[in-house]
């Protein structure tokens, strides 16, 4: 139990293996001048929803992924399996999930929301790393939660991001029409006071 508490403390102090992997990955991608944006739970943390995660999600172009693997495979980074998009940081034993521009979140089937070009949605935060912006993060998480029943965490992340950022219902107007109604549902859920 103490070990779990220690790992959680390290995570929220940004001293965890996941944070180290994120920083190392960012440095490796910048060295080869590949556009990227940190996505997923680490982006949610950057936007105020504090929760732990065991991996790093990164948004890349297919050619950016190819360039990364050409330069870094076997040098601290290994494929999860032959031909996989994802890879593992061998120093920290942390998995990196790759979200490729043009592919579809959630069930992977065509829909109006796609993984965008990282250079169009990345915004640098106080730690100097590029994270996917809040509008794009919300769109992707909503589309994922709407189309993949096994990903309810994405919808909870939306609720928590609404709370953390005190987003108004009208924020839906900034989102892709495909996810606006679901945003309204999540916004209503976010207004319910938790009474423990």
**Residue 122 domain-assigned?**
yes
CATH number of the domain bearing residue 41: 3.30.460
Mean confidence (pLDDT) of the chain: 94
Give the residue numbers spanning the domain of 149. Answer: 2-190
Alpha-carbon gap, residue 181 to 39, rounded angstroms? 23
**Residue 79 domain-assigned?**
yes
**Residue 196 domain-assigned?**
no
Tally of domains in the chain: 1
Reported pTM = 0.93
What's the pLDDT tens digit per position in 30-53?
A: 999 999 999 999 999 999 999 999
Q: Which residue has the higher pLDDT, 81 or 187?
A: 187
**Residue 129 domain-assigned?**
yes
Query: What is the mean pLDDT of the segment spanning 143-151?
Result: 96
**Residue 157 domain-assigned?**
yes
pLDDT value, residue 193? 83
pLDDT at 196 over 80: no
Residues β-bridged to residue 56: 96
**Residue 133 domain-assigned?**
yes
What's the pLDDT tens digit per position in 115-144?
A: 999 999 999 988 899 999 999 999 999 999
**Residue 195 domain-assigned?**
no
**Residue 66 domain-assigned?**
yes
């Amino acid at each position: 139990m103490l070990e779990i508490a220690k790992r959680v403390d390290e995570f929220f102090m940004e001293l965890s293996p996941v944070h180290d992997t994120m920083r190392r990955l960012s440095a490796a991608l910048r060295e080869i001048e590949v556009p990227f944006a940190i996505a997923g739970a680490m982006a949610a943390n950057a936007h105020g929803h504090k929760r732990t995660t065991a991996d790093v999600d990164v948004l890349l172009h297919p050619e950016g992924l190819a360039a990364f693997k050409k330069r870094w495979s076997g040098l601290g980074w290994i494929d999860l399996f032959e031909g996989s998009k994802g890879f593992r940081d061998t120093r920290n034993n942390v998995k990196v999930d790759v979200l490729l521009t043009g592919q579809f979140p959630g069930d992977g089937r065509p829909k109006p929301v796609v993984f965008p070009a990282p250079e169009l949605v990345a915004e640098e935060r106080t730690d100097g790393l590029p994270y996917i912006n809040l509008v794009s993060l919300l769109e992707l998480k909503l589309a994922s939660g709407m189309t993949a029943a096994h990903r309810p965490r994405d919808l909870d992340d939306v609720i928590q991001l609404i709370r953390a950022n005190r987003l108004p219902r009208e924020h839906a107007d900034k989102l892709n029409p495909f996810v606006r109604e679901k945003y309204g549902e999540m916004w209503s859920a976010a207004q319910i006071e938790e009474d423990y």
